[in-house]
Chain A
Amino acid sequence: MTMIEAIRDAHAVAMERDERVVVFGEDVGYFGGVFRCTQGLQQRFGSHRCFDSPISEAGIVGTAIGMAAYGLRPCVEIQFADYVYPAYDQIVSEAARLRHRSAGDFTAPLTIRMPTGGGIFGGQTHSQSPEALFTHVAGLKTVVVSNPYDAKGLLLAAIEDDDPVIFLEPKRVYNGPFDGHHDRPIVPWSKHPLSEVPEGHYTIPLGEARIHRPGGDLTVLAYGTLVHVAQTAAEETGIDAEIIDLRTLLPLDVDTIVESVVKTGRCLVVHEATLTSGFGAELSATVQERAFHHLEAPIVRVCGWDTPYPHAHEWSYFPGPARVGQAMLEVMGR
């Protein structure tokens, strides 16, 4: 299964099991979403369970919060993460704090899905990775998926979660495990073990990282597309990196991170989002606080540059295998 098919499947399973699950967003109903992640749901479950919305992200999230407060389980799509900002007030001031400000009287169990990241020549408005804008907000959970198997289990867990979950889908890995080499032929998911997606219901608990590649030389903290890029870099440099796919940024699986860094004594943090005040800063601080005495080298971050995501220079911007590999060598002191 591709990641798109896995996400579609997760929706279908959730809607089948729980009639409180409703799905809506721009072009989501009849068309099945511009990336086709909801294709077939309207035909199967009817237009009262899966429908199109006006182009108003504030309206989509605001009504979803109201529905969630009523007792439904909305799972809504923002067409691109770059277009979530009109809904930001509803997410930050409302969804995130409903439970707290009403002392548990009202809650907002909703899932907000959105495609993130670059690598498709989308320019500055179809390429952003805004995860840190959500992890910084108390009351939200934030998930970033990297493969079909996880995408299905995590989406089901997100929909079933009693708190608002931001569900980020790097669009460059929708159709294949992108290794970071944009000039090579696209490798489809079908050749990858993580594209084997069980039928029916299963969940992956929010807050559990996955060791993508075990290793002894250094720990790489990654999520989304960069998990695959880091793997390429490890293969190309011959460094025995332990690559951790964080999967959920908040709540963060601190134990898995610390255990790995204690073992390897070295840590590299990678993400596609801009460097400054990015989630990588949180990760470095966490490792420094909890494993400082085990570190044999400074923690290094490889991230997107602190510029808007460029169109023509996408591949100079993207932290690809060359930059990640070089940083691995640096952390190894080679």
Chain B
Amino acid sequence: MDGEQVGQQALRLHIPDTERGPGAEPPEVRFISAAGEMRRPELDEPVERIALMRKQMVRVLDDDGAATGPWDPQLTADQLRTGLRDMMLVRAFDARLLQAHRQGKISFYMQCLGEEAIACAHKRALHPADMHFPTYRQQGLLIAGGYPIVQMMNQVLSNEADPLKGRQLPIMYSSKEYGFFTISGNLATQYVQGVGWAMASALSGDTRIASAWIGEGATAESDFHAALLFASTYRAPVILNIVNNQWAISTPEDFARGASATFADRGFGYSIPALRVDGNDYLAVYAATRWAAARARGNLGPTLVEWVTLRRGAHSTSDDPSVYRPAGEASHFPLGDPIANLQRHLVTLGQWDDDRHAALSNELDAEVAAAFAEADAHGSVKSGHTADPRTMFDDVYAELPRHLREQRDQVGR
């Protein structure tokens, strides 16, 4: 055929037209493997061969709650119960702080309902000294890492005991000691910084690796692509996590994915081995993290992981998802709920039952209530019990320059 002539056919722009709103069908989740189906590649397997598995998914727990296949991390019953406890604590913590928002005690909150397994299992599968570069939906990293939840609550309340002195929006935690990089409100910036931290660790002959986090929506930012290129070029010891919870505020995942099949596909363009993993399967998360970490620790370079999950709640307390979300999306979601999935597994093993579950649930509610009472006793931004306003001039620079000293003297004058 001859070359097309200009003007023969009118061009048309494709705008993704995913159905939205309460009347829409819940979107399909594509390319779900059965538990145990996907092969576990060698750590140094050529990226081209791993790419052949790009439409598969790492899953360990089957519908009956049994663990199966080459990815089973063989955790002990105690480790499984710890995982369940971590996730339930995150959920109870979120529930209490959402309530605090409704009570008018805090200005803002973001929960991770339905996504608890990802941060909790990932944190437990890495070394406590490894450094995470999180987004605002990885409170599980702190909680599974044993960070005091009272401190998290003090931050969220912006009260006089807030370790960040009221400077940051609630949930924008920071703790170097617990391997948790200070959260930025600006999406994607941390991703490339995580790669840089990993490069530094390798440059210094250190043994610690980095784990960088991003939501699927934010992979559209240029920083994401810069991160992949640098990680690939310098074979940085970093795990590049994409949490695909299907939604970026009101925007479905296909706007960020473009025409590619999956988010894991992004890795292959940069020659980075990439896995798709059931993010609601604690065992799959644990196993995939261990695989990626072993690659990083063995100087085999970065791994990209797409964790497939569902944001069950609103984006934040400022959001009204009823406008854009299909009704019944959570019940339609094929990967279930991470807590229920692990609970079923423990019951199947004969290591758990309903009574123990209820008792644990009560115990965690009490733990959270006690922590909240302690934090609440330090006041909140709403009650005016905050750090001294003059502390806002601290830490702008290492030393207070003259102009800030003068401005500080004017505060409250």
Contacts and interface: CB of A to CB of B under 8 A. Distances in A.
Interface residues on A, range: 35 or more
Nearest to B316: A34
B20 A306 contact: no
22 contacts: A26-B251, A27-B251, A30-B20, A51-B15, A52-B16, A52-B255, A55-B221, A55-B256, A56-B221, A83-B187, A86-B221, A123-B168, A124-B167, A124-B169, A126-B169, A276-B403, A306-B396, A306-B403, A310-B166, A311-B167, A312-B158, A316-B389
A307 B256 contact: no
A92 interface: no
Interface string A48-84: 1001111111110000000000000000000000110
A113 B356 CA distance: 55
Interface in B185-240: 185-188, 217-218, 220-223
Contacts of B255: 52-54
Contact of B412 (A27, A54, A316): A316
Given A55-B218, A305-B392, 8 more contacts: A31-B251, A51-B15, A52-B250, A82-B185, A276-B403, A306-B407, A310-B166, A312-B166
B151 interface: no
A121 interface: yes
A86 B411 contact: no
Nearest to A31: B250
A30 B250 contact: yes
B158 A311 contact: yes
Contact of B13 (A48, A310, A316): A48
Contacts of B170: 311
A45 interface: no
B318 interface: yes
Interface of B: 13, 15-17, 20-21, 107-108, 158, 162, 165-170, 172, 184-188, 217-218, 220-223, 248-251, 255-256, 258, 318-319, 323-324, 381, 386-387, 389, 392-393, 396, 403-404, 407, 411-412
A317 B381 CA distance: 14
A59 to B, nearest CB: 7
Nearest to B170: A311
Contacts of A124: 167-169, 185
B407 A310 contact: no
Interface in A299-334: 305-308, 310-313, 316-317
A30 B16 CA distance: 11
A121 B108 CA distance: 8
Contacts of B381: 121, 311-312
Interface in A125-144: 125-126
A26 to B, nearest CB: 7
Contacts of B403: 276, 306
List of 5 A-B pairs having minimum Cβ-Cβ separation, nearest first: A125-B185, A312-B166, A123-B169, A54-B220, A31-B250
Contacts of B386: 312-313
A85 B396 CA distance: 20
A307 B223 contact: no
Interface in A79-128: 82-83, 85-86, 121-126
A47 interface: yes
A83 B186 contact: yes
A183 to B, nearest CB: 10
Contact of A31 (B107, B249, B392, B407): B249
Contacts of B323: 31
B107 A121 contact: yes
B169 A125 contact: yes
Contacts of A313: 166, 386-387, 389, 392
Contacts of A312: 158, 162, 165-167, 381, 386-387
Contacts of A310: 166-167, 389, 392
Contacts of A47: 15, 17
Given A276-B403, A310-B166, A56 B222 contact: yes
Contacts of A307: 392-393, 396, 404
A51 B185 CA distance: 24
A303 to B, nearest CB: 10
B121 to A, nearest CB: 26
A308 B412 CA distance: 18
Contact of A59 (B220, B250, B392, B393): B220
